Chains A and B, each alone.
Chain A
Amino acid sequence: MIAASLKKRLKYFDVDLSFSCASKSMMVMIGPSGGGKTTIIRILAGLTTPDEGQVIFGDEVWFDSFRRINLPPQKRQLGYVFQDYSLFPHLNLLDNAAFSATNKKEVDELFELFKINHLKKRKPHMVSGGERQRCAICQALARHPRLLLLDEPFSALDVVTRRGLREELKSLKGRLSCPIIYVTHDINEALFLADEILPVVDGKIDSGWMQRTITREPGEGTQAKGAREPRLSLAY
């Protein structure tokens, strides 16, 4: 279980929220782009330092501003799948996934599971975006993460690939014992995947955001400050 209570001053707004996510559960953090979701994920990963707050994983303190504890990302043992471009361009897919694998044999099993076994020897630029993201997920899982962070992992992909991967991820979810935090701005994705939904708007929890976004009439001027997205399409 991971619990966080964070404050961080950003350029246009302040992040100020608390949440927790249990093991074996997927929390989807949703909200308009530019609303602070990635900052929160980066804080959990140890890549960004909050101004104030705590991040506690089980009985381990990862960050505590008061006690001046800040565990570096290397020691948090987590999996982080970025939007794109996080695979190492000089390594083939197999070496990428095995980059810090605890057991190299498992990488083969993961490749089998994600159906990219035939692409092992290809470099990242020689495969499609969907295949790259599959490999990125394998890379994150091969490390036996204690927490899995997925920051809009499928948003650079086309709708069909995206749907397929979304389903694969849902079926994978049952096999993982760690908490999973998934970031998206897509309501469909959130409803499909989530055990728990955390709507974040301008750095704060805004539980009415989803309702407002779904029911909002076109032309209604109630868009949140951070919402630089057009109205979400519910067509697919």
Chain B
Amino acid sequence: MDYLALFVTLKLAMVTTVVLMVLAAPVAYFLAYSKFPGKSFLEALIYLPMALPPTVIGFYLIIMMGPKGWIGRMWEMLTGGSLLFTFLGITIASIIYSIPFAVQPMKAAFSKIDRRLLENAYILGLSKRAAFIRVIIPNSLGGIAAAAVLVFLHSIGAFGVLLMVGGSIPGETKVASIAIYEAVEMMNYSAAAMIALSFIPISYAFLLLINKLNEESRT
């Protein structure tokens, strides 16, 4: 069995989840609590990766991260290397691909918090940032955990976007979903079956976790 591909998948999902949760929390806060003209346009733009075919996202990422794209050029100037076909490249792709799954549940959890709790926190002397850390986050743990699980699951399932941006370099960009695809292409069904099977308990366990979190947040 291609343990290396499974390892890359899990590593990618972990890094994506941690980085994306940190990046998405302020965005979700902003969307939940601010009002400004054109907000729905910005929100739709943030959720766009959910509605686009992964190959379309992959295509634009290639354009941007390639040697002629501005991100690719900047990266090359800084490091001398390419972003395409690297672990960092697929991590960026995976983060962009999963943004909606991090922002949406967190925004929903933040919006559910009673406005009066925040007002009370301000009266008790907390700045907005302190209130976010001491009041909003502890009272939306269910939503935050749900977002993390969704992002994790969505990243282990990514295929098209990663194949376009990262190709299939063993130990670097060859994730389990790509390994399955390649095994099937080479008619190696038993190898594909082994990796495919390993996904089922992982995904199932995480779904159970989501259900539990949802139940808890409802009570």
Q: Contact check, A77 vs B125: say whether CB atoms are below 8 A apart.
A: yes
CB distance from B6 to the nearest CB of A (A): 37
Q: Which of A88-107 contact B (CB under 8 A)?
A: 88-90, 99-100
Q: Are B120 and A100 closer than 8 Å at their CB atoms?
A: no
Please state if A74 and B126 are interface contacts (CB–CB under 8 Å): yes
Q: Which chain B residues border A46 with CB–CB below 8 Å?
A: 122
Given contacts A82-B116, A85-B116, is CB(A90)–CB(B138) below 8 Å?
yes
How many whole Å from B129's CB to the nearest CB in chain A? 11
Quick one: closest A residue to B137, CB to CB? A90
Q: A88-B135, A88-B139, A90-B138 are in contact. Are A82 and B120 (CB under 8 A)?
A: yes
Q: How far is the CB of A82 from chain B (nearest CB, A)?
A: 6
Q: Are B125 and A86 in contact (CB under 8 A)?
A: no
State whether A80 touches B123 (Cβ < 8 A).
yes
Contact B122 A100 (CB under 8 A): no
**C-alpha gap A77/B135 in the complex (Å):** 19
A86 to B, closest residue via Cβ: B120
In the complex, how many residues of chain A place their beta carbon closer than 8 angstroms to a beta carbon of chain B?
Answer: 21
Is A133 an interface residue when CB atoms closer than 8 A count as contact?
no
Given known contacts A86-B117, A88-B117, is B139 in contact with A78 (CB within 8 Å)? no
Q: Within the complex, what minimum Cβ distance (angstroms) separates B93 from chain A?
A: 36
B 4-45 binary contact with A (CB < 8 Å = 1; else 0):
000000000000000000000000000000000000000000
Pair A73/B138 contact, Cβ less than 8 Å: no
Given contacts A89-B139, A90-B138, contact A143 B124 (CB under 8 A): yes
Interface pair B125/A100, CB less than 8 Å apart = yes
CB of A138 to closest CB in B, whole Å: 12
The reply to whether B127 and A74 form a contact with Cβ atoms under 8 Å apart is yes
Contact residue among B114, B122, B126, B138 (Cβ-Cβ distance under 8 Å from A85): B114
**Which of A45, A72, A90 neighbours the largest number of chain B CB atoms within 10 Å of its CB?**
A90
State the interface size on chain B (CB cutoff 8 A).
15
Residue with the greatest number of chain A CB neighbours at <10 A, chosen from B121, B122, B124, B126: B124
A36-94 contacts to B, CB under 8 A, are 45-47, 72-74, 76-80, 82, 85-86, 88-90
CA distance A47 to B117 in the complex (A): 12
* Given A85-B114, A85-B116, A88-B117; A47-B122 close (CB under 8 Å): yes
| A139 contacts chain B at the CB level, 8 A cutoff | yes
The interface centre, meaning the residue of B119, B123, B125, B127 with most chain A CB atoms within 10 A of its CB, is: B123
| Cβ A143 vs Cβ B116 within 8 A | no
The residue from B116, B117, B119, B135 contacting A73, defined by CB atoms under 8 A apart: B119
A143 x B125 contact (CB < 8 A): yes
Chain B nearest CB from A76 CB (Å) reads: 8
Shortest Cβ gap from B114 to chain A (Å): 6
Provide the bound-state CA to CA distance between A147 and B122, in Å: 15
Q: Contacts of B114 on A, CB cut-off 8 Å?
A: 85
Contact of B126 among A77, A80, A100, A139 (CB under 8 A): A100
Q: Is the CB of B122 within 8 A of A73?
A: yes
CB distance from A183 to the nearest CB of B (A): 15
Rounded to whole Å, the gap between the CB of A174 and the closest CB of chain B is 24
Chain A contacts of B124 at CB under 8 A? 99-100, 139, 143
A73 to B120, CA, bound (A): 9
Write out the residue numbers on chain B whose beta carbons fall within 8 Å of the beta carbon of A85: 114, 116-117
Contact residues in B for A89 (Cβ distance below 8 Å): 117, 139
The residue that B119 contacts in the complex, of A47, A100, A143, with Cβ under 8 A, is A47
8 contacts between A and B (CB under 8 A): A46-B122, A74-B126, A80-B120, A86-B120, A88-B121, A99-B124, A100-B126, A143-B125
Residues of chain A whose beta carbon lies under 8 Å from any beta carbon of chain B: 45-47, 72-74, 76-80, 82, 85-86, 88-90, 99-100, 139, 143
Can you add 8 more A-B contacts, CB < 8 Å, to A85-B114, A86-B116? A45-B123, A73-B122, A76-B123, A80-B123, A86-B119, A88-B135, A88-B138, A139-B124
